[in-house]
Structure 1
Amino acid sequence: MTVLDSRALNRATLARQHLLERGGASVPEAVAHLCGLQAQEPQEPFIGLWSRLADFEPGQLDDALTGRTVVRTHLMRRTVHLVTADDALAWRARHDTMLRQRVLGTYRRELAGIDVDELAAAGRAVLADQRPRTMRELVQAIEDRWPGPPRRALGELLVSALIPMVQLPPRGLWHRTAGVRNLPLATWLGRDVAPLPAEDSDPVGQQLLRRYLAAHGPAASADLRAWCGLAGLPAAVRAVREELVAFRDERGRELLDLPDAPRPHPDTPAPVRFLPAFDNAILGYHDRSRIIDAPHLGLSVAGHRAVLVDGRVAATWAVRNDQLHISPLRRLTDPEREAVRAEAQDLTVFLDEGIEHVHLDGEN
């Protein structure tokens, strides 16, 4: 079985993630291909798409959100993701059990004894008037029946687990600050969430596997689980295994992939790319060694924005005091610093936040 080293896996990931070369896809096409973008920080998906798409303009994502082709919803790992409307409807039921278990695990004592089906029915009854509500407003409407649990626990259970919801614009629009107002996904889209089929073969799980590999492969089953947060996908893996190809990584793990997916030569040049916080190019794996070094793993879950140099996380970046501030994690060569500066200058134009200077640590 062919062994793929870290650099080969890195270039495959960059190719799948549109980080080797900016693509020409539309925003909905790109969001679909990437299986969504993590979006609990509302402005971050704009940066992720700018780094991946040629000629991307923020209004394109705004139009997709207001036009209801892309939505903000709790999905993979119970985090807010930007996904296409079609994927939200198709995938949500497959995630229901995981979403419910994660909230109940977080608030085990506070929610002990709650009849979740009864709570969900009460929440749906309140939302039947099709009026958007904040989580607080929704809880206030039903809390007389459940006076014990904290509002936060009830709200998290209702909004992120029991009722498939969408966070409505203007939340998530470019340079807009807006609180979260929720509406059932089916109400916003005018279509029902697809129910889980009865077949044991798990067709939704099979689709998730294929789509994940197209955007993140080659990858191990543990990587798939880390990305989506779902257990119980072995049946899906078994069902499609004959149509996949297999490799090994340097640790001996089996990696699965789509036969015709791009796997560029390890020496393929990789341009500098600025990633947003919580980007799935990093977080979409259990083993993230293909893109980030072990000493820096904590940065990927702490909300630090990353700079890729030669395809790997080599710096962090932030906007502070009218400066785009870049902090290298290793010594950069002069050509690398020049490339980082050039991409940073382009980013300042895109961000349109009055950034007056790019500061790269280590320079006078």
Structure 2
Amino acid sequence: MSAPLSSRALGRALLARQHLLARSPLDAAAMVEHLVGLQAQAAPEPPYLGLLSRIEGFHPTQLSALLESRQAVRIALQRGTIHLVTARDCLTLRPLLQPVHDRWLRGSYAKRLPDLDLDAPDGAAPVAALARELVEAEPLTFQKLGPLLAPAFPRSEPAALAQAARCALPLVQVPPRGVWGRSGPAAHTTAEHWLGSPLDPGPGLDALVLRYLAAFGPATATDVQKWSGLTRIGPVLARLADRLVRLRDESGRTLYDLPDAPRPGAGVPAPVRLLAPFDNLLLSHADRSRVLPEEYRARVMTVNGIVLGTVLVDGAVAGTWRLDEDLLTVRPFEPLPQAALPGVEEEGARVLAFVGAVDGRVVVAAAE
């Protein structure tokens, strides 16, 4: 086995695959597929800002058009959280990730759903059948869906019934939810109804793991599990052994990777980048220290589940940023190197231009 990879070298490999060392000419759909979706529970800005940091010349209409033409959708996938994915990935990924949703429903709502036996196979099927009829007749918010389900399940809480439907069915959020410059409630219908196609009847977990490594590797089995929410990934990696290389980090942990995936080395320069709130870069490994120093983790990921927009300097998170109308404020954790300031200004100006803040300003606050 080769020499261990340092945290810095792992970070450079990740940044290369995320197109954060150099912006890409890929179109929005191709980038969304390469990243296996964009974390999107906050609507609508984070996915758009995530593509802005990765694609040269990206304009918000490129992603909005995908949503409005049903070539992309917003749906609960990895870890049970909302992701923006292409229609093709929606139909493949949702059945693969069903165990994640089943486990979450049992752990979070079983006591509030006494009408259902969630320990039985298809325990939520009665709710799913009725919910499918309702949301395919008219897209519904969970606030409307729950009370409509309640008469058939009188001992269960309406809000919990809506969550049972969310977990049992592939529910997509329909536009204008998630469309740039517009607003709308999170109204749902089924993926099959919205896209006019059935779910993939035989999706392959091997292919999902290989795609994860292409976008996020090198990685441990635990990293893959953290990203997906699935368990028992070790046997999958063993099955793929002849298609992978085995590496190790400085702690001796086994890392898996694609043989020809970029691993540019620790010395490759990394430009300043402003990462979107909830950016995939920070949410796809059990050990995030390759790009997020552990001492800063609690300052980026808040106790109420918010992941702030962050500033990458020399390949690692060095602060947070926030946009308030025409003012973009960068708050570094330590004084930034003088050489990084032009990059911070340039990236901030890029975000301001993207959101149409023609008279916007970038301010670097004192280190916190």
**Normalising by the residue count of structure 2, what TM-score does the alignment of the two structures yield?**
0.93
Q: For 2:175 and 2:254, how far apart are their aligned partners in 1?
A: 42
1:126 to 112, 128, 134: 134
Q: How does 1:350-361 map to 2 (within 5 A)?
A: 350-353=354-357, 356-361=360-365
8 Å Cα contact 1:77-1:229 kept in structure 2: yes
3-state SS of paired residue (1:48): helix
Aligned to 1:80: 82
Q: What is the Cα-based RMSD across aligned positions, in Å?
A: 1.5
Moved more, 139-148 or 70-79: 139-148
Counterpart of 2:354 in structure 1: which amino acid?
F
Distance 1:189 1:330, change over 3 A: same
Shift of 1:322: 3.3
Shift of 1:353: 4.2
Counterpart of 2:39 in structure 1: which amino acid?
Q
Aligned to 1:89: 91
Shift of 1:141: 2.1
1:154 to 158, 161, 176: 161
What is the CA deviation profile of residues 190-224 of structure 1, one whole-angstrom value per residue up to 9, with x for unaligned ones? 100112x4xxxxx6210111000000000000000
Aligned to 1:39: 40
Counterpart of 1:350 in structure 2: which amino acid?
F
8 Å Cα contact 2:335-2:366 kept in structure 1: no
1:194 to 193, 200, 206: 200
Q: For 2:99 and 2:171, how far apart are their aligned partners in 1?
A: 15
1:143 aligned to 2:150? yes
3-state SS of paired residue (1:297): helix
**Normalising by the residue count of structure 1, what TM-score does the alignment of the two structures yield?**
0.94
Counterpart of 2:230 in structure 1: which amino acid?
L
Aligned to 2:317: 313
2:189 to 175, 179, 183: 183
What is the CA deviation profile of residues 250-292 of structure 1, one whole-angstrom value per residue up to 9, with x for unaligned ones? 1111000000011112111111111111111111000001001
3-state SS of paired residue (1:148): coil
Shift of 1:40: 0.3
What is the CA deviation profile of residues 70-97 of structure 1, one whole-angstrom value per residue up to 9, with x for unaligned ones? 1100000000001111111012111112
3-state SS of paired residue (1:271): coil
Q: For 1:32 and 1:206, how far apart are their aligned partners in 2?
A: 16
Q: For 2:366 and 2:235, how far apart are their aligned partners in 1?
A: 52
Aligned to 1:200: none
1:334 to 338, 352, 361: 338
Segments of 4+ in structure 1 off by > 4 A? none
Aligned to 1:218: 218
Q: For 1:54 and 1:242, how far apart are their aligned partners in 2?
A: 36
Q: For 1:122 and 1:206, how far apart are their aligned partners in 2?
A: 33
Moved more, 295-304 or 90-99: 295-304
Shift of 1:189: 0.7
